[in-house]
Amino acid sequence: MKWSPQDAMEAYLQTLQVCKDHYNQDCTHGGATKCIQPQYMEFISALAAGNQAKLMVQILSNEGVNPLTIALAVAAKHTGGRFICVLDQQQDMEDCKAQLSCYDLEDKVEFVHGNPCEVVIQFKSVDFAVIDCKFEDHLKLFKTIDVNPRGSIVLVSNLVRRRNGVSFGEVVRRKKGVEYVTLHIGQGMELTRIGFTCKGLETRRYKRFHVTFES
C-alpha cells in the first residue's frame, strides 16, 4: 500500500465537512446527533484513503450505519475503491442506504446480507477492515478474514465487548510486519497494521501524516 498525501488530505477535508454540515443541520432542528462523531472520523477516512485502500470491508453490528461507515465511504469516493458492509438478516438494507443518502454516499457502499463469518471469506486480500466486537463471533472473524499480506489495516471497535480480552493484533502478532495499538476512542479501538515492513519495503522511509485537532 503506497501512501498518498493528496488522497488523505482530500478525504480528511470532506469528512470534516460532512461532520460540520451534520452538526449545523442538527443544531438547526434542535436534535441530538447520534451518527456523526467528529475528530476520529476524519483520521480513519484519511488513513484509508491515504493508504489507497482498494478493498474495504466493514462488519456492522445490529445498530446499522455508524460513523466509521461514513468515514470509509468518503475514503472509497476518493480512492475509487470497493467498500462492502456486511449486515445481518435483521438489518434493513434500504434504511442503511437512506442514512447514507443524507451525505450523498449511498452509491459508495455495497451492502451484503448474511453471516459475516461466511460472507467475509468471499473477499480476498482486504486492504482495510473494520470489525465491531459487538458481533458475537468476532473472535472467529479475526481468524477468518483474509487481509492483504503486503499491506493492510484492521480496525477493531468496541473493545470493551471483546471476549476473553483477546484482540485482533494478538491473534496475528506472530505474522511478519504486524504492529498494533489501542486507541482510547469511544468504547475502545484497536488499530493493526500488517505487512508494512515486509521485504522490499524495509529500507523505505515512511511518510507521516500529522493531524491536529482544535476545539
- Convert the pLDDT of each residue in 97-118 to its tens digit: 998 998 899 999 999 999 999 9
Is the CB of residue 141 less than 8 Å from the CB of residue 117? yes
Listed in sequence order, the residues at least 6 apart from 209 whose beta carbon sits closer than 8 Å to its beta carbon are 3, 5, 8, 46, 47, 50
pLDDT of res. 68: 92
* CA distance linking residue 46 with residue 100, whole number of Å: 19
* CA distance linking residue 88 with residue 119, whole number of Å: 10
Sheet containing 189-194: order of strands: 110-113, 82-87, 55-59, 128-132, 152-157, 189-194, 178-183
Mean pLDDT of the chain: 82
Which residue bears the cell 460513523? 67
- Convert the pLDDT of each residue in 133-147 to its tens digit: 888 888 888 889 999
* CA distance linking residue 76 with residue 26, whole number of Å: 25
* CA distance linking residue 21 with residue 36, whole number of Å: 10
Of 23, 84, 14, 12, the closest CA to residue 47 belongs to 12
pTM of the model: 0.82
Cell of 215: 476545539
- Convert the pLDDT of each residue in 26-51 to its tens digit: 544 455 445 555 568 899 999 999 99
Question: Could you tell me the domains of the chain?
Answer: 5-194 (3.40.50.150)
pLDDT of res. 21: 74
